[in-house]
Chains A and B, each alone.
Chain A
């Protein structure tokens, strides 16, 4: 059994080696597919990081009228905290708001001077609300609009980041969709090219195949070397793709790091190397074996 497997593997390997030019082209096309797929994963990761970074910055601020009492504000806070969609609520009193404001504009003499001249604190007390999920802000706003303390609320501030998030999401979705379509098209081409290579191998070995059938070679012995050959294209393509991908990633990572400091591309793909590398290998092998299988079904009579 082991001997038979060795023979099948050796025949597959010889088929791969003897077709050197064809094998080179086939492996090349398949490498492109795997690289494109890796590129999609990078895009997915980067856009995911950007969106979640933006989402972290989204919150709802509720500003209360100056005649509202602290008790009323506390009641609103308690109401909000009982909501399942709310992650946490921070109360910022009028005094705190003033301290923050002063600190923020510490360097601005004009503002400091103006503040000093004021008798009364002009700033409003506010509640800062974080939702568990960025999609839930709209419902929190609706909840506030319907609240019995609505009259003491001056304004609800939320809309700013939403547009940016939607924009990033729609761009990344668009690029992702086109990337996916491109990957599919290229994968289809890779399947066709591999299929054709295997077809040529089968054609070149018509005599061997005929004799194998004649002498009662088992179907498995006749077919399996071609499946191995197809799989080998995938394996070599995966090796090349990975060898090209990581240096490329390292290069891009430093550029992206300048734009978005929170995102470490290389860090992500290095720490997930045990998921990423096997995935690329499996994808390559599946593509190769699948193409080979189609060619065998179509051209190899046993």
Chain B
């Protein structure tokens, strides 16, 4: 459960987020829509403590994440998977190693890495590409690899920031279908996008933002309206 209370973020003179109030229940699939600069990425950045709010609270599982100490932030980030438009993969590592890297840097044992990485690669359908490097994969495959990495810590929440931005319609659709499948297993998914078709295909809760404010919140069967 994510509770956002009166959340504001100000960059110099620019109001990136203006008194946002939201409640997202466990297992929801939320599409966060709006034009560039509406505050979608800021909101996601605040949830992973990449950014700190100027005002207000984000409470995830009863903990106000602004109160987390430096050493607790990595633990929060293992609870929240993130994927981005530009994939953020390491070009010198192959698919298996890219996913394994996430486990290594959190101090996992070799046994755990060898057991878990093939499992998530299987979930995203990349078992036969495990030894391929990112440049040997298509855009859709790269994003699925990024999703595999995001899933490796079995996160409760998955944040997707424009995940289809660099993909064609077909690959984008594959990625969204994968996100919906992950959501069916119980992970809360928050998808920030300005891709109308994708949002309409998903047809779940749609939160529309504009100029840092929530302007519309369609709880069910939401459509992309601006």
Contacts and interface: CB of A to CB of B under 8 A. Distances in A.
Contact of A217 (B90, B105, B110): B105
A212 B90 CA distance: 10
Interface string A210-242: 111111111101100000000000000000000
A215 B110 CA distance: 17
Given A219-B70, A219-B74, A302-B70, A214 B88 contact: yes
Nearest to A212: B105
Nearest to A222: B105
A4 interface: yes
Interface stretch (B28-36, B75-83, B204-212): B75-83
Nearest to B113: A3
B104 interface: yes
A208 interface: yes
A211 B88 contact: yes
A120 B16 CA distance: 113
A271 interface: no
Nearest to B102: A215
B105 A218 contact: yes
Contacts of B105: 212, 215-218, 221-222
A275 interface: no
A214 B82 contact: yes
| Most B CB within 10 A of own CB, among A212, A219, A221, A222 | A212
A40 B152 CA distance: 56
A113 interface: no
Contacts of B104: 7, 221
A219 B153 contact: no
A50 B89 CA distance: 66
A217 B89 CA distance: 15
Contact of B102 (A1, A3, A216, A219): A216
A3 B110 contact: yes
A218 B70 contact: no
B77 A213 contact: yes
A207 interface: yes
Contact of A211 (B74, B101, B107): B101
Contacts of A215: 77-78, 101-102, 105-106, 149-150, 152-153
B88 A217 contact: no
Contact of B74 (A207, A208, A210, A216): A216
Interface in B63-101: 70-71, 73-78, 82, 88-90, 101
Interface residues of A, number: 19
A3 B108 CA distance: 9
Contact of A221 (B73, B88, B89, B106): B106
B153 A216 contact: yes
Nearest to A210: B88
B110 to A, nearest CB: 6
A218 B104 CA distance: 10
| Most A CB within 10 A of own CB, among B74, B88, B102, B149 | B74
Contact of B107 (A207, A210, A221, A302): A221
Contacts of A207: 88, 90
Contacts of A3: 109-110
Contacts of A216: 74-78, 102, 105-106, 153
Nearest to A7: B104
Interface in A1-36: 1, 3-4, 7
A218 B149 CA distance: 16
A9 to B, nearest CB: 13
A283 B115 CA distance: 44
Interface string A266-302: 0000000000000000000000000000000000001
A208 B105 CA distance: 11
Interface string B144-170: 000001101100000000000000000
B103 to A, nearest CB: 8
Nearest to A5: B107
16 contacts: A4-B107, A207-B90, A212-B101, A213-B74, A214-B48, A214-B77, A214-B82, A214-B88, A215-B77, A215-B106, A216-B76, A216-B102, A216-B106, A217-B102, A218-B105, A222-B105
7 nearest interchain CB pairs?
A217-B105, A216-B78, A216-B77, A215-B102, A216-B74, A221-B105, A4-B107
Given A213-B74, A214-B88, A217-B102, 18 more contacts: A3-B110, A4-B107, A207-B88, A207-B90, A213-B77, A214-B82, A215-B78, A215-B101, A215-B149, A215-B152, A216-B76, A216-B77, A216-B102, A218-B74, A218-B105, A218-B106, A219-B70, A219-B71
